[in-house]
Amino acid sequence: MGKVGGGVMRKAGRDVWGLALVGLSGVAVFTALGMVFLYAPREATMGDVQRIFYFHVASAWVGFFAFCVTFVASVAYLARGARRWDMLALSSVEIGLAFIAMAVISGSLWARPVWGTYWTWEPRLTISAVQLLIYAAYGMLRASVESAEQKARFAAVYGIVAFVTVPLSWFAIRWWRTIHPDVLTGGPGMAITPPMVHTLLAALAAFTLLYATLLRQRVRLERAADTLARLRLQVASEE
């Protein structure tokens, strides 16, 4: 057997694409941040607190996109049975959870001065809270199953079923009466001007890049963990 650990570590050290992606997403996030505070105008009704909107919407978008990736990867795992799809589904859930948590917390901080309360049980907020709990349970489900193959299969089925919360959350503000503003129009209490649209698009692009960077690293981590587990088994069988 060769230099097992060194192989992986050397690979990580040569990761030029990974470094380029990190740099690119860093520049994109700081550009979006600059646009939020220096380019986008102060909203007339809400004032400065409206600037939360840009990163709030971008976080929610990445959360939804991440759960969509989990859905597709879960279907692919059930169809093909390849471990790489399970790795992708798991990695995407973890990142999606962090971004949906960002969206929920920042939304609450925006709601306090605008609605007069941190939280109200209206359809969009309720579905977001349920979605957060459902995807947090994805990790618990995986931790509770011993067999790796069974774990991946159960998680894939769960990842498909849990995805129903994404369209439900998206359409909640269109199907039911709600006080949550519509991201596409800004709602009756918020006038969206072209610089605001540019800033929102920059934030969406930056967060999507950040998601791609984090996902890449997270999948590599999962792959390395698999390699280590395999090597441990090999060493144990040799002893």
Partner 1 sequence: MSAYLVAAYAVFWALTFVLVFSIWNRQRRLERDMAALQARLDGKQDDTGHS
Interacting residue ranges for partner 1, rule: CB under 8 A: 1, 3-6, 8-9, 12, 33, 47-49, 51-52, 55-56, 59, 94-95, 98, 101-102, 105-106, 109-110, 112-113, 210, 214, 217-218, 220-221, 224-225, 227-228, 231-232, 235, 238
Which of 19/164 has CB closer to partner 1?
19
In the complex, least distance from residue 41 CB atom to partner 1, rounded to whole angstroms: 15
Q: Give the separation between CA 166 and CA 170, rounded to whole angstroms.
A: 6
Task: Give dist(CA 12, CA 169) in Å, integer.
Answer: 38
| Coil, helix or strand at residue 163 | coil
94, 99, 96, 100: which is closest to 140 by C-alpha?
A: 94
In the complex, the smallest distance separating the C-beta of residue 171 from partner 1, rounded to whole angstroms, is 25
Taking the mean position of all CA atoms in its chain, how far away is CA 208?
Answer: 9
- Which amino acid is present at 72? V
Is 226 exposed, middle or buried (CB count within 10 Å of its CB: 0-12, 13-18, 19+)? middle
Query: Shortest approach of partner 1 to residue 214 CB, angstroms?
Result: 6
Nearer to partner 1, 97 or 162 (CB): 97
- Minimum CB separation from partner 1 for residue 24, in Å? 15
Q: 3-state class of 117 per DSSP?
A: coil
Give whichever of 140 and 174 is closer to partner 1, judged by the CB atom: 140
Q: Which is nearer to partner 1, 135 or 160 (CB)?
A: 135
